[in-house]
């Protein structure tokens, strides 16, 4: 699927859909509070792994159903969970159908070369009509990429239209939210809510009043279409996509949002590369010297380092997703920690347990560096442990 533009079509329904730059998240109507918490993350451009970490943070047992789609760089990834949740992925050689009601956890699939993607969550509105959207928060019964209807048949929305107002209403969780209003809201304005600085409505060089910003859900209705048989064939295979980066939890999804910078406040940063101060022996057998910053996780990425400070990235297996994308940082210490290695939890979802010789086990606090003693054991979860040895 080409990544230049990401224009979806959707059929209004009861589920809440958040369309972001790299991920799309669908939650049932009962999860309005969760949608409010995750809207900023997805809308800010968070990647698939970072979004999944946050979706699962309260525990899978309290989330009856959800759909997560990753359309960033690399293969297209889809997770579906819940009764009545169906997805169809089409490539040049096959069509793969996923049913979220067939398992107790979720169904996950990753495919290269996806030319069409459709998700149906049923409920009211499943038979149409369809609208176009390039980003925002709307109620849906079905979504398609590329759009189900031919592009000439639908009037596209401006990118991000109504997103700020929709989020404001979700965060307030008022009963009178326009998301719950079945009346015609096409003329509703929202005094006092100025577009955000990155709102597309302010990027065309013209001034806009609040009344000019419309809700994505208020798109002009089009003539209803006869519903297709569920996943009977691929939609128009014309590639439609977006520019994505697939950023992770540890790296942050925007320059101004992310985990606490590594290191101890008030102390100088460690040199980029030094004499090794420790050796990390990972339970899978790999040994890593700590002569620079080492980032360890399920899919670690470095987003806050210069070309002269590139850290070593170490990937560890996590079949149950207990380990975060960028889980911990181990680096040569500075100041009072000079000559030793220090470990910092980077805001992992399930935490990090450290067992030092002669000391009680402790759970690391996010952003707090702890000096490592040779013989220490770092536990990340999913059976992955790291032993600290002399270099």
Q: pLDDT per position in the chain (391 positions), as tens?
A: 544 457 899 999 999 999 998 999 999 999 988 888 898 899 888 899 899 988 888 888 888 899 999 988 889 999 999 999 999 999 999 999 999 887 778 889 999 999 999 999 976 555 668 889 888 899 999 999 998 764 444 555 544 444 444 445 554 544 433 344 443 433 333 333 343 444 444 444 444 443 333 333 343 433 333 444 443 333 444 444 443 333 333 333 333 344 444 444 554 454 456 789 999 999 988 999 999 999 999 999 887 666 667 899 999 999 888 999 999 999 998 878 888 999 999 989 899 999 999 899 999 998 899 999 999 999 999 999 999 999 9
Is 236 a domain residue?
no
Same domain, 174 and 33: yes
66: three-class secondary structure by DSSP: strand
Structure tokens at 351: 């935490």
Same domain, 88 and 197: yes
Range list of H helices, the chain:
32-43, 48-56, 163-172
How many domains would you assign to the chain?
Answer: 2
Is 185 a domain residue?
yes
Cα–Cα distance, 82 to 141 (Å, whole number): 14
Is 290 a domain residue?
yes
Is 241 a domain residue?
no
> Would you give the distance in Å from CA 320 to the centre of its chain?
17
- Those residues whose C-beta lies under 8 Å from the C-beta of residue 130, and which sit 6 or more positions away, are 9, 10, 11, 144, 147, 148, 149, 154, 222, 225
The Cα angle at residue 40 between residues 218 and 197, in degrees rounded to 5? 75
- Domain containing residue 296: CATH number: 2.60.200.20
Q: Which of these, 304, 307, 306, 308, lies nearest to 329 by C-alpha position?
A: 304
Structure tokens at 201: 């409505």
Structural domain range at position 125? 8-218
Is 257 a domain residue?
no
Same domain, 206 and 287: no
Beta-carbon-side half-sphere exposure of residue 86 (alpha carbons within 13 Å)? 14
Is 91 a domain residue?
yes
Please identify, among 218, 248, 264, the residue that sits at the C-terminal boundary of a domain: 218
Same domain, 201 and 288: no
Same domain, 206 and 295: no
Is 160 a domain residue?
yes
Same domain, 53 and 192: yes
Same domain, 163 and 288: no
Same domain, 48 and 152: yes
Contact status, residue 25 vs residue 157, Cβ threshold 8 Å: no
Cα–Cα distance, 391 to 373 (Å, whole number): 12
Contact status, residue 141 vs residue 13, Cβ threshold 8 Å: yes
DSSP state of 308: G
Beta pairing partners, 388: 280
DSSP state of 138: E
- Those residues whose C-beta lies under 8 Å from the C-beta of residue 379, and which sit 6 or more positions away, are 352, 353, 354, 355, 385
- The reported pLDDT for the residue numbered 327 is 95
Structure tokens at 297: 């996780």
Same domain, 135 and 283: no
- The reported pLDDT for the residue numbered 74 is 85
Same domain, 56 and 148: yes
Cα–Cα distance, 15 to 123 (Å, whole number): 8
Same domain, 212 and 283: no
Please identify, among 172, 199, 218, the residue that sits at the C-terminal boundary of a domain: 218
Is 270 a domain residue?
no
Same domain, 28 and 153: yes
101: three-class secondary structure by DSSP: helix
Please identify, among 182, 197, 218, the residue that sits at the C-terminal boundary of a domain: 218
Contact status, residue 109 vs residue 75, Cβ threshold 8 Å: no
Q: How many residues does the chain have?
A: 391
């Amino acid at each position: 699927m080409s990544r230049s533009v990401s224009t979806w079509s959707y059929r209004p329904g009861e589920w809440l859909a958040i369309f972001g730059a790299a991920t799309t998240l669908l939650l049932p109507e009962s999860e309005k509070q969760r949608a409010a918490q995750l809207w900023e993350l997805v809308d800010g451009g968070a990647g698939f792994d970072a979004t999944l970490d946050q979706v699962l943070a309260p525990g899978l047992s309290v989330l009856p159903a959800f759909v997560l789609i990753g359309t960033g760089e690399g293969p297209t990834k889809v997770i579906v969970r819940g009764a009545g949740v169906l997805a169809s992925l089409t490539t040049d050689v096959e069509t793969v159908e996923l049913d979220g009601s067939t398992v107790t956890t979720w169904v996950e699939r990753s495919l290269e070369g996806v030319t069409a993607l459709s998700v149906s969550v049923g409920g009211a509105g499943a038979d149409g009509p369809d609208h176009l959207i390039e980003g925002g928060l709307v109620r849906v019964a079905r979504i398609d990429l590329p759009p189900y209807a031919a592009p000439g048949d639908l009037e596209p929305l401006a990118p991000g239209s109504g997103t700020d107002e929709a989020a404001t209403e979700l965060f307030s969780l008022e009963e009178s939210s326009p998301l719950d209003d079945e009346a015609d809201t096409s003329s509703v304005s929202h005094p006092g809510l100025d577009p955000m600085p990155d709102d597309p409505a302010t990027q065309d060089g013209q001034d806009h009043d609040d009344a000019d910003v419309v809700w994505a859900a208020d798109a002009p209705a089009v003539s209803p279409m006869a519903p297709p048989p569920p996943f009977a064939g691929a939609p128009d295979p014309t590639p439609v996509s977006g520019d994505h980066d697939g950023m992770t939890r540890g790296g942050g999804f925007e320059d101004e949002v992310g985990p606490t910078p590594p290191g101890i406040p008030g102390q100088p940063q460690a040199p980029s590369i030094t004499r090794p101060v420790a050796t990390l022996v990972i339970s899978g057998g790999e040994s890593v010297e700590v002569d620079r910053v080492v980032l360890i996780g399920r899919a670690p990425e470095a987003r806050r380092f210069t070309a002269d400070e590139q850290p070593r990235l170490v990937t560890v297996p996590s079949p149950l997703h207990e380990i975060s994308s960028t889980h911990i940082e181990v680096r040569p210490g500075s100041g009072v920690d000079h000559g030793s290695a220090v470990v910092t939890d980077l805001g992992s979802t399930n935490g990090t347990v450290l067992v030092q010789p002669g000391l009680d086990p402790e759970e690391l606090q996010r952003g707090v560096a702890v000096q490592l003693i040779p013989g220490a054991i770092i536990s990340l979860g999913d059976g992955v442990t790291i032993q600290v040895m002399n270099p």
